[in-house]
Structure 1
Amino acid sequence: MDETQTRPELSQVEQVPAIPPSRKRQLDSDDDAEPRTKRARTTRPTSEPARLTRQNLARFNKMGKKGTSKAPPSTSDPSIGSSGKSSGTTRTLSTTASGFADQAYKNGILDPLDSKPSPNFEDVRERLARSRATASPPEPEYKRYINKVEGAPNEATLVYEVGGKLLKEYDDEGYSRAFNQAFTGYPDDVGFNKGLSAPQPDFVEGLRKREYRPFPVDERVSGAVLYKDDPHSLTLPHLAGEWKGPGKNMKEARMQAAYDGAALVYARNQALSYMGKSDPSGHAEITTFTTDGTNLNLFAHHAAPTEEGALEYHQYPIKSINLIDSYQGYKEGRKHLRNAQDYAREQSYALKDQLKEYCKQQRHSGLHSVAEEAPLLPVPGIEPLNAYEDEGDYEVVEHQPIYQPTPPTSSKLKHSKSHRLHSTPHSSKAPSSTHSSTHSSGGKRKASSSQSSHESSGHVSKNRSY
């Protein structure tokens, strides 16, 4: 019995037809550069063609597998965002790049080691530890949880299994959540995110953009609307979370959560600033969490200025809980996380109501001051509008677009304007909205200090009104 019968693979190699002479000349021809280039990438770097042996075929197949590109991931994979890109790719660029931690630190994003507790930190900790009105989960559920976590092969499975057991679901149609979605609507380079890609938390929960109508929150508040060109985008959320798969680096998750928290703090501060308000100095109203299914870590976030005036974003730990060591630990973790959800939801609704009420007041104020045009800002080379404040009377002519100061009344002025004044020489014609009060008093309008103050407030009101 020959060797080809005992080793069939040799027979298959020997049965490969030889390359015809004409084809061989074509491959070796200098006129055909493309085949020569491909051959140079897949064969030995010599002028002699590789022999068609079993070893060379195996080597060729191995090289072909290395060079084969993988098929694009399916968009049904929960680890892939709406952009169609794998979350692992984008997260690598934004968080595990060698310079991320250093750049974040330069931008003022502090880790727990450098962060300081907020003045209301004890209130935050107590709030998350409060007993809930609902019953605790039964012990069999805890045992099922352990089984799910220990059997999870990857991060996507943990997000589904852990999220379903620990997180609370709300029935509000306008209050929603998103998983692994980059903040495509977030502004670039607003300080803390300089040189960094957009935040992309594994979990974020908040109100939808439509709940803020008629207030144009996307136009008025920087960083409020998370997703670009999405009328249902989450807006001004107060809670975000990061998951890690089995055996993954939880320190990386904490760093991602610090970035997420800074983004939410910035947006909240912008919303309050728009209304002329602010949280008490250093108060924490934003919460983030990290978990790998086994451990749950909660953080409070706030911003505070340094002595030099720069803004720093603090991430201070609230509590760390082991979810699988004991039934009590599982209940504690579940309670803390759900309390954090409830408080974030309360803060989201409260901020939304404040913005809408402020919008309503601005519109109402604008309707009552239609006739009182806001004074223009000073223009170089032109005297300010209050230059004649103490030099005599002036009148406001109906339909006149801008206040024009009028010099002191003279007989010549009265004569030139007699065709459009009342019979009383000192009464001026007021705009329609203030005519009745002016006519009844019979007096002339003067540029008093109280009126100047009112006009100044009207100017601010118009600038903030839409």
Structure 2
Amino acid sequence: MPRKERQRNTALANFPDEPQVLLRRSRRINQNAATPMEIDSQDGPERFAPWYPLFQQIRRDNRNQQHNDTILVPAANDHLQQAENDILKDINRTMSVAPKIFDNHLVPANDYPAVQLRNGVLTLDLSRPPKNLGWLRMKLRSARHVPDWPTHKWQSYTMHSYRCTTKQAIMCEMMPLFQDFPKQPEYIRSFYQRFDDFPEYADFSRGIEKPCPGFAQGFSMEAYPRVKIEYVSAAVCVSHDHASLVHPHLAGDFTAGDVNDLIEAVSARHGAALVYMRNLALAHMGVEAIKDFAGIITFTTNGRYINFFAHYASTSAEGKLEYHQYPIASVNLMRSYPEFIRGVSMLRNCQDFALSMATALKNDLEKYHVREGSNAWVHHLEEGDHILSESYDSEMEYDECMEYGNKDVTSRNRGSCSQKRPAGKCPDECPRKRRR
């Protein structure tokens, strides 16, 4: 018999009543517990889902909190383990159904205004004024000092003929009209950047290409260090290797020639996209949007005239979501120097307003996620517990609706608050509902 085995038998014979302790054995082996790597390796095809990294983080947070025998984040189900069970239950439900397919059949560009109206994006004649229209006009018309545009510079500006030129040339000539925010390095602007990450299955964009405004301004993803903003539905509209754009509250469109109904329809679509993103962010926090309150501004310009519009969403008597575009003001930049200064002041006042709205939304999202922790991703909807309800990837379905071409294709999102009820309105009148 080996020497080590004889020593072990001798110890058992001499001390039969003493509890035996296995040396050099970890608690995990005694408890037959799997390692975190083993737990992750047991996952199935959900490992390739876009929300899987977030699920791993929630699982690690829950495991660490249970190991320390402390609960740092209040969970809706009175225990953090239940939150992980809810996630697993939702994954099983998602993976057990048939694959979802969405195909956005685009219509010709000339048909966009008619298709937009059918999708709920109202024209100027059908839109109602927002409740804060008077305040917006007072805000935009506030006088401000514009030292970087003296008289001789304006005269040079008026010498350019903007007819028979391209919209990109107009954009380049008008770039000095915008103000910079050197103290806000993470507040960026983009020019003719398509919203590649914007969900094409949004209720108002059926049959229409993704938004591509001539100008948009918002925060980058680096401005959200405490929020996994990429998992909030429609929050990130642009995401590249070196640039990103999150929750813009100001967009504009440039055109060559006269500002016609087509460019106004484009501006209405871009304003609706910004309203859609803002309302989903409010719904993510359980905040009810103020009724008929315009928090989004857009503009259209041909270098000579600049027009400003207010945007908001409302629900019709039939329960359909409608997006309004209402004119705020219009300025002729060529008529006189004082009117030019008034137009530049309006444009920069719009930028200040958009910055204040975007900052308030960003701060609210950060406070909400710091307060709720992993529970911020748990939502209790009509159809049961649903994790990551903002992830449209798990909720897109075939359905019959509007007919584009020879097929009827659309999406029905059971988890979206903005399509079934005002943004942020909880189905069971959630006690944490607030207004903003």
Structure 1 residue 251 displacement after superposition: 2.4
Query: Which of the residues 230, 237, 244 maps onto 2:255?
Result: 244
Show CA shifts across 1:178-206 (max 9, x none). Answer: 11111110112221111111010011011
Q: CA, structure 1 residues 216+280, in 2 after alignment: closer, same or farther (shift >3 Å)?
A: same
Show CA shifts across 1:91-138 (max 9, x none). Answer: xx9897232111100110012111110111111111111122554732
Matches within 5 A, 1:46-65: none
Asked if 1:326 corresponds to 2:336, the answer is yes
Matches within 5 A, 1:138-217: 138-150=150-162, 153-164=165-176, 166-171=177-182, 172-217=184-229
Structure 1 residue 337 displacement after superposition: 0.6
Give the aligned partner of residue 352 of structure 1. 362
Contact 1:300 1:318 in 2 (8 A): yes
Query: Which of the residues 109, 118, 141 maps onto 2:121?
Result: 109
Give the aligned partner of residue 129 of structure 1. 141
Contact 1:257 1:288 in 2 (8 A): yes
Compare CA radii of gyration and give the structure with the larger one: 1
- Mapped to 2, the partners of 1:141 and 1:227 lie a distance apart of 34
Structure 1 residue 148 displacement after superposition: 3.1
Contact 1:149 1:158 in 2 (8 A): no
Q: TM-score, normalization: structure 1?
A: 0.56
Structure 1 residue 249 displacement after superposition: 4.9
Structure 1 residue 154 displacement after superposition: 2.5
Asked if 1:336 corresponds to 2:346, the answer is yes
Structure 1 residue 213 displacement after superposition: 2.0
Identity of aligned residues (%): 33
How many aligned positions are there? 279
Structure 1 residue 307 displacement after superposition: 0.7
Structure 1 residue 270 displacement after superposition: 0.5
- Mapped to 1, the partners of 2:365 and 2:109 lie a distance apart of 38
Matches within 5 A, 1:408-419: none
- Give 2:133's aligned amino acid: F
Q: CA RMSD in A?
A: 2.8
Structure number with greater CO (CA < 8 Å, separation at least 6) is: 2
Give the aligned partner of residue 260 of structure 1. 270
Show CA shifts across 1:410-446 (max 9, x none). Answer: xxxxxxxxxxxxxxxxxxxxxxxxxxxxxxxxxxxxx
- Give 2:137's aligned amino acid: R
Give the aligned partner of residue 283 of structure 1. 293
Structure 1 residue 170 displacement after superposition: 1.6
Contact 1:109 1:192 in 2 (8 A): yes
Q: CA, structure 1 residues 163+350, in 2 after alignment: closer, same or farther (shift >3 Å)?
A: same
Aligned to 2:306, the other structure's residue is in SS state: strand
Structure 2 residues not aligned, in runs of 5+: 1-104, 386-427
- Give 1:333's aligned amino acid: G
Query: Which of the residues 224, 230, 241 maps onto 1:218?
Result: 230
Give the aligned partner of residue 371 of structure 2. 361
Q: CA, structure 1 residues 233+346, in 2 after alignment: closer, same or farther (shift >3 Å)?
A: same
Q: TM-score, normalization: structure 2?
A: 0.60
Aligned to 1:264, the other structure's residue is in SS state: helix
Query: Which of the residues 116, 131, 154 maps onto 1:119?
Result: 131
Aligned to 2:200, the other structure's residue is in SS state: coil
Show CA shifts across 1:309-357 (max 9, x none). Answer: 1110000000111110111211111110110011101111111111011
Contact 1:257 1:290 in 2 (8 A): yes
- Mapped to 2, the partners of 1:378 and 1:312 lie a distance apart of 28
Structure 1 residue 250 displacement after superposition: 3.2
Instruction: Select between 133-142 and 282-291 the one with higher mean Cα deviation.
Output: 133-142
Aligned to 2:179, the other structure's residue is in SS state: coil
Contact 2:259 2:301 in 1 (8 A): no
